[in-house]
């Protein structure tokens, strides 16, 4: 039975199933962040997590946020983070953008399409028995039933699962599955329960990233200034063009995001200059600085705007959010 979905649409958030949260890790020299526990929380017996039932008993309560999510958005804006290269900040961008938007009161769903499931692991949500990969290959079920609440108000996730890798390896050359996510997403889009759906992609340009782009209104391409960054970016832009020509003509560019740079160095300032000259208007004005808070925040499972609101990184994310909000897609195409 769907956890927050039934035939008539989404149910109030209080119906959301278990969310397992791992204990916050100790960070050296840093005060651990305590998350409030709800002693009244009922954890159903069928609660399953990748780390076993022990964690489920420490689960955060979805009961703390009972606002209905039914029909809250005029449009649901779907954005995917994509780059062939790993380590450029796709997951970091997805999480901090989603967390920052959720803090502003937007209803946000993150779909973790990376088989590693790093984003959901960092906030302590693990796939249930039926997972995203099952639905993408056509299993009976409803994508809405995979939506899980998190300890961050207004932020929901569909966890990534390891079988997404099998999905890509088995069916990567087939056109049959290239719009699986897009088709499944219609179940959620028709109810418009979310203002934003952000999709975190793996570092590849295969079936998974293709599915994300087929389902999205826009892409954000995080890039870094590393030696191979420009080559990966060119490949990524080429695939975006192919998807636009063959599958999703409405796919727009929200922006290229230079991440993890230190503009105090001549080298990184030159990188920024090169990107701005070559990519012209496609670059976000915002640049995300190299910051220790990036790792800290993801280890604590908190967006940086919450973990270190006065840090340079948090300021950069607030500026990025303003830019993203100003770049509405054309919903008609």
Ligand X SMILES: Nc1ncnc2c1ncn2[C@@H]1O[C@H](COP(=O)(O)OP(=O)(O)O)[C@@H](O)[C@H]1O
| Interaction site with Mg ion (CB under 5 A) | 90-91
Pick the closer one to ligand X by CB: 92 or 236. Answer: 92
| H or E stretch at 119 | helix 118-122
Residues in contact with ligand X by CB under 6 A are 86-92, 203, 259-260, 288, 290-291, 294-295, 298
Burial class (CB in 10 A: 0-12, 13-18, 19+), 270: exposed
| H or E stretch at 57 | none
Helical packing angle, 292-300 and 90-103, nearest 10°: 70
How many Cα atoms occupy the beta-carbon half-sphere of 4 within 13 Å?
Answer: 29
Pick the closer one to ligand X by CB: 38 or 295. Answer: 295
- The answer to whether residues 181 and 214 touch, using CB atoms and an 8 Å cutoff, is yes
Alpha carbon distance 29, 36 (integer Å):
22
Residues 6+ apart with CB under 8 A from 103: 152, 154, 303, 305, 306
Minimum CB–partner distance for residue 154 and Mg ion (Å):
22
Q: Work out what residue 294 binds among Mg ion, ligand X, none; the CB cut-off runs from 5 to 8 Å by kind.
A: ligand X
Q: b/e for 211-224, b at 16 or more Cβ within 10 A?
A: bbbbbbbbbbbbbb
Pick the closer one to ligand X by CB: 3 or 114. Answer: 114
Pick the closer one to ligand X by CB: 294 or 324. Answer: 294
Pick the closer one to Mg ion by CB: 61 or 298. Answer: 298
Residues 6+ apart with CB under 8 A from 265: none
Minimum CB–partner distance for residue 107 and ligand X (Å):
23
Residues 6+ apart with CB under 8 A from 107: 69, 72, 73, 154, 156, 193, 194, 195, 196
Q: Work out what residue 329 binds among ligand X, Mg ion, none; the CB cut-off runs from 5 to 8 Å by kind.
A: none
Pick the closer one to ligand X by CB: 207 or 316. Answer: 316
Minimum CB–partner distance for residue 28 and ligand X (Å):
16
Q: Work out what residue 106 binds among ligand X, Mg ion, none; the CB cut-off runs from 5 to 8 Å by kind.
A: none
Query: Which among 257, 261, 313 has a CA at the least distance from the CA of 283?
Result: 257
Q: Work out what residue 208 binds among Mg ion, ligand X, none; the CB cut-off runs from 5 to 8 Å by kind.
A: none
Q: Work out what residue 290 binds among Mg ion, ligand X, none; the CB cut-off runs from 5 to 8 Å by kind.
A: ligand X
Q: Work out what residue 37 binds among Mg ion, ligand X, none; the CB cut-off runs from 5 to 8 Å by kind.
A: none
Helices (H), 132-221: 132-136, 163-171, 180-189, 207-215
Minimum CB–partner distance for residue 194 and ligand X (Å):
22
Q: Work out what residue 14 binds among Mg ion, ligand X, none; the CB cut-off runs from 5 to 8 Å by kind.
A: none
Minimum CB–partner distance for residue 291 and ligand X (Å):
5
Pick the closer one to ligand X by CB: 33 or 73. Answer: 33
Minimum CB–partner distance for residue 310 and Mg ion (Å):
26
């Amino acid at each position: 039975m769907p956890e927050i979905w039934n035939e008539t649409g989404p149910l109030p958030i209080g119906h959301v199933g278990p969310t397992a949260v791992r204990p916050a890790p100790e960070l050296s020299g840093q005060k651990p962040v305590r998350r409030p526990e709800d002693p009244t929380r009922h954890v159903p017996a069928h609660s399953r997590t990748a780390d076993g039932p022990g964690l489920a008993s420490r689960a955060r309560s979805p009961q703390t946020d009972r606002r209905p999510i039914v029909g809250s958005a005029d449009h649901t804006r779907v954005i995917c983070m994509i780059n062939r290269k790993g380590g450029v900040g796709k997951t970091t961008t997805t999480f901090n953008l989603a967390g920052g938007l959720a803090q502003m009161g937007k209803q946000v769903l993150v779909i973790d399409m990376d088989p590693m499931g790093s984003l959901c692991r960092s906030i302590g949500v693990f796939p249930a028995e039926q997972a995203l990969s099952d639905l993408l290959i056509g299993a009976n079920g409803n994508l809405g039933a995979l939506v899980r609440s998190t300890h961050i108000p207004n932020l929901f996730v569909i966890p990534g699962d390891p079988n997404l890798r099998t999905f890509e390896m088995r069916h990567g050359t087939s056109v049959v599955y290239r719009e699986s996510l897009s088709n499944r997403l219609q179940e959620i889009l028709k109810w418009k329960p979310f203002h934003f759906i952000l999709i975190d992609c793996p570092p590849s340009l295969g079936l998974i990233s293709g599915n994300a782009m087929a389902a999205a209104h826009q892409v954000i391409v995080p890039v870094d200034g590393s030696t191979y960054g420009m080559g990966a970016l060119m490949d990524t832009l080429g695939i975006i063009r192919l998807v636009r020509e063959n599958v999703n003509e409405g796919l727009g560019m929200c922006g290229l995001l230079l991440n993890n740079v230190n503009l105090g160095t001549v080298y990184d300032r030159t990188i920024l200059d090169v990107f701005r000259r070559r990519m012209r208007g496609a670059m976000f004005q915002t640049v995300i600085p190299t910051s220790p808070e990036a790792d800290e925040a993801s280890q604590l499972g908190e967006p940086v705007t919450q973990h270190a609101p006065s840090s340079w990184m948090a300021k950069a994310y607030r500026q990025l959010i303003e830019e993203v909000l100003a770049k509405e897609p054309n919903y008609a195409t």
